[in-house]
Each structure stands twice: as structure tokens, then as C-alpha cells.
Amino acid sequence: MIGRLNHVAIAVPDLDAAAALYRSALGASVSNPLPLPEHGVTVVFVALPNSKIELMSPLGAASPIKSFLDRNPGGGMHHLCFEVEDILAARDTLLAQGARMIGTGTPQVGAHGLPVLFLHPKDFNGTLIELEECAKSSE
């Protein structure tokens, strides 16, 4: 069901400082900040040859990562994102197996403009999992 690792997300208290660190210390290519008000975060993506790192910080007081940063003030790994061919089929298969979704289970548009869902961390060894539908190729 799951395909390629799309990204590893790291919650950070200061997005500008984190992006600068990845640029200067690691020589990474870092995208411009992208505010995602519907998700309550601002993100940047660190480009890697085989995947990405998503650095994210809270956007607004109701941000879903605010409580994570309250518990981990220095930041830390927040979730893993895997690609799936068909997000609705993946959701239905997982629900039939007893997995829980975060939210309603209806896919939302993620940072890449593609449908995403989040799986409850208690069902996946304490790790929050994001599923993102692969971009359809135009052949």
C-alpha cells in the first residue's frame, strides 16, 4: 500500500532559524516559507536526493503542533509522510483493519496541493503517519 517516503516532518519553534541552520550547517537547499492556515502551520521543505524534510512551525494560537512544541520546546520529529496511489482506497483498507484517522477521515489538501490524511499515532507505534496521494502523471 505505502510507496515512497515523501518527507520527515520536524516541528521547530523558530522556522527562520531552523531553515538557516539547514542551509548553513548542512548546505541544504531550503524552500521559501509556505503558510498553511488550514493546517495551522508554516512550512519549508529541505530538498534531498531521495526525499524531503519538512520543517514546520505553528501558525496561530490554535495550531495543532503548539502542544507538541509545549512538550518539546526545542522541537523534534513530528511525523512521517508516505505516498499512496489512491488515498481513498488506502483509507478504506486501513479503516477496515481498525486504524483510526485524525480528524474526519476526509482527505484535505496538503502542502504539495495533493490529498492527505493522518493516521493516529497510537495505531502506529507512537508515530504520526501522514498519507499523501501521489501526483498523477500525465501520459
pLDDT in tens, 80-103: 999 999 999 999 999 999 999 999
Work out whether the CA dihedral 80, 129, 82, 41 comes out positive or negative. negative
> How many angstroms separate the CA atoms of 42 and 15, rounded?
8
Secondary structure tally for the chain: helices H, strands E: 3, 9
Q: Is 130 a catalytic residue?
A: yes
Upper half-sphere CA count for residue 106 (Cβ side, 13 Å): 1
* Catalytic residue (choose from 38, 83, 85, 130): 130
- Would the pLDDT of 61 be above 60? yes
**CATH fold for domain 5-133:** 2,3-Dihydroxybiphenyl 1,2-Dioxygenase; domain 1 (3.10.180)
**Residue ranges per domain, the chain?**
5-133
Question: How high is the pLDDT of residue 17?
Answer: 98
Q: Is the pLDDT of residue 137 over 80?
A: no
Q: Which of 79, 74, 92, 35 is nearest to 58 (CA)?
A: 35
Cell of 36: 498553511
